Amino acid sequence: MSVVSSATDLGAAVRPSSSHVEMLTVTNVGKRFGPVTALSGVSLAVRSGEVLALIGDNGAGKSTLVNIIAGLIKPDSGELLVAGKSLRGSGPRAAREAGIETVFQNLMLVPTLDIAQNVFLGRELFQGGPIGRFLRNVNNRGMRREVEAAFSSLGLNLPPVTTKAGSLSGGQRQAVAIARSVIWGSKIVIMDEPLAALGVKQTEAVLQLVDGLRAHGIATLLVTHNMQHVLRVSNRVAVLRLGRKVADIDLSDQELTGMQLVGLITGELQQHEL
Amino acid sequence: MYAEVAIDERVKSRNAEPVSRGNIYTLRRLGAAQGGGLVVALIGISIYFSFMSVAFLTRANFTVILLQSSILGIVAVPGAMLLVSGALDLSVGSLAGLAAASFGTFNQIFGIPLGWSIVLTLAVGATWGLGNGILVSYFRCSPVIVTLAGYSAAAGVAQLITNENTRYSFGPAFAVLGNGVEFGIPVPVIIFSFVFVVGAYAWYRTPIGRHLIGIGANRDAAMAAGVPVSRLPCIIYVLSGTAAAAGGLILTSQLNAASVQIGLGLELQVLTAILLGGVAFNGGRGSLWGTLAGILFIGVLNNGLTLINVGPYIASICIGGALLLAAVLDVVYRHLENVPAREPLIDTHVDTQEESGHDAPHAISVTAGSSRAWEGG
């Protein structure tokens, strides 16, 4: 039985109309680390209800780009727009407040805090009323209830939300990190290698979650090394090589094979040769 | 509960797993109540002492224990917050001495009125704490080295400004701070209670507690989540310095003498109480209730052993033994944390061979529960 039993059905109900808005727009982003140019002049856009796969070899600049979008790294040049507006402020908090949720390669959960605390870390809910807010009195029950509701809406079968994140398996952590983005009503979800080191069944479950995100109308940027996963879930694929974007292909217009994608990554193929 | 709802065939089939698992979960629940074992020990020695000495189980003696624990307690509250966030403050003992020296100088040499002398003395502690905090939190210097430097330097500054002359006699108004009794409770105990209640509220009822734990357990994750990973510990350092100065003032009041020696060894007593209470030395795990148990454990042990006429050496040996036990339990807790959760998403154990070819399997832990792999990733 799959973990995701209803994500896609549920998503179908809220599937946005065909008006796919450009949720995330990255324009001409460049970043140097000392003598190394990690990114130069990279532009890409992710629309709502779309999964854009970002692929490239090690050192192509994928993680740098992800960190820039997540607000962890300041780009040297270029601009980031969320739903056409530039971000207010900088840093991870500003990115989150703008609706960008990032599922990091190493998942970024605090092992000694429980699932609900992790989901709401840095954005805790407070008790109602001016006093609760003024005293910053946390509403633990409310947070637990919201996490439980989100898990069931995603069809996730996870341990109780009071379970410490450190005792979750890789797939469970992945699910928590992804559920976090849904709970926050994020407009954009960035996933950096969410499928690394997951088993076949867990991978399938996470891929179904990605489908669920698309159905929720969320713009998803999926970084992966696995061409099969790219072809399985994404609408579009962007290829980075040595810090530059070398291809951006709409998969609904063009049938691609895994070998062709590998060719684009290594530079043996150019987009116009396809 | 969600847990019960989630039970389905898969969970039932998992019941075929070794029965001994159940004991691990019970143990982990005990571990979750960190300092739980210490509370049991505290009750145990209290029962022992009440049988051995008629004087032990009296209101007067209880007040004495609290009075003797209050300075340690005032400093241990911010101390526990620092330790759980992965930092620590070794300068508190010297800062207490510096506070005494500063207060004597402000009040008797500069002739500053009592109230302002107290405020200025607390400000000296806060300022030193701010220096510690900026160096540790913003410049990312080692907390051990920075506060060890403070341990040495603050003591030196105290000697320098007093010129090794101890000031005496600050008058009856100041004596209230250390020796006064209000509503039948000694003033230092009232101050400690206030500090603890505010600290416990911050720890358990506001996001501060979980933020500190987050910073201690996985600083990158806390930062990515928007936790103020530099500002928060820096503020706690300021509070730690202020608390150390307050402790120094109370001791000065009790002795009616501003000796630079008063804080001697305070930093290690504080650290002992916090570690006994189950706060992990590397941060990321711990509780303030456990710290309170640690403070009271030391207080009761010292008091009880004195009452039954066993010298202070035995108390030191007992505290050392308890600390060793805490070190062993710390390892046990760490292992228990890595025991997988009950209902897995799908499969708890995953074979890496299943994963089709790519080269980054090291980033995420493959087997459930081994948190090391992904923390390091």
Enter the ipTM.
0.73
Is A113 in contact with B217 (Cβ distance < 8 A)? yes
Give the pLDDT confidence score for residue A10 in this predicted structure. Answer: 38
| H-type alpha helices, chain B | 2-5, 9-14, 21-32, 36-52, 59-84, 92-104, 114-133, 143-162, 172-179, 187-205, 208-217, 219-224, 231-255, 266-276, 288-307, 312-337, 371-376
Q: What residue type is B158 in one-letter code? A: A
**Chain A residues 198-257 within an 8 A CB cutoff of chain B:** 198-203, 205, 224-226, 228
Q: Is B340 left (phi over 0), alpha (psi -120 to 50) or beta?
A: beta
Give the separation between CA B152 and CA B148, rounded to whole angstroms: 6
Instruction: Note whether A61 and A43 are within 8 A (CB).
Output: no
**Shortest CA gap B168–chain A (Å):** 42
The boundaries of the domain holding residue B204 are 59-290
Give the separation between CA B355 and CA B281, rounded to whole angstroms: 37
pLDDT lower than 50: segments of chain B: 1-23, 31-33, 342-377
Domain boundaries, chain A: 7-273
Give the separation between CA B243 and CA B98, rounded to whole angstroms: 13
Give the pLDDT confidence score for residue B66 in this predicted structure. Answer: 93
- Per-residue pLDDT tens digits for A57-89: 888 888 889 888 888 888 888 888 888 888 777
Give the pLDDT confidence score for residue B347 in this predicted structure. Answer: 38
Specify if B332 maps to a domain: no
Chain A residue numbers with beta carbons less than 8 Å from the beta carbon of B219 are none
Give the separation between CA B87 and CA B133, rounded to whole angstroms: 10
Chain A residue numbers with beta carbons less than 8 Å from the beta carbon of B351 are 199
Give the pLDDT confidence score for residue B352 in this predicted structure. Answer: 36
Q: Rounded mean pLDDT of A227-231?
A: 85
Angle between helices B288-307 and B36-52 (to 10 degrees): 20
Closest chain A residue to B283, measured at CA? A112
Give the separation between CA A108 and CA A56, rounded to whole angstroms: 23
Specify if B214 maps to a domain: yes
Give the pLDDT confidence score for residue A107 in this predicted structure. Answer: 65
Instruction: Note whether A123 and B227 are within 8 A (CB).
Output: no
3 state SS of B101 = helix
Question: Considering only A190-199, A239-248, B71-80, which range has the smallest mean pLDDT?
Answer: A190-199
3 state SS of B161 = helix
**Chain A residues 4-43 within an 8 A CB cutoff of chain B:** none
Is B6 in contact with A157 (Cβ distance < 8 A)? yes
Alpha carbon of B150 to those of A6, B34, B100, B267: distances in Å?
A: 59, 31, 16, 11
Give the pLDDT confidence score for residue B179 in this predicted structure. Answer: 87
Angle between helices B187-205 and B231-255 (to 10 degrees): 170
- In this structure, the dihedral spanned by the alpha carbons of residues B297, B299, B300 and B305, taken in order and rounded to 10 degrees, is 120
- Per-residue pLDDT tens digits for B347-357: 333 333 333 33
* Superfamily for the A7-273 domain: P-loop containing nucleotide triphosphate hydrolases (3.40.50.300)
Give the pLDDT confidence score for residue A5 in this predicted structure. Answer: 39
Specify if B356 maps to a domain: no
How many domains is chain B partitioned into structurally?
1
Contacts of A43 (CB under 8 A, 6+ apart): A26, A27, A28, A29, A78, A245
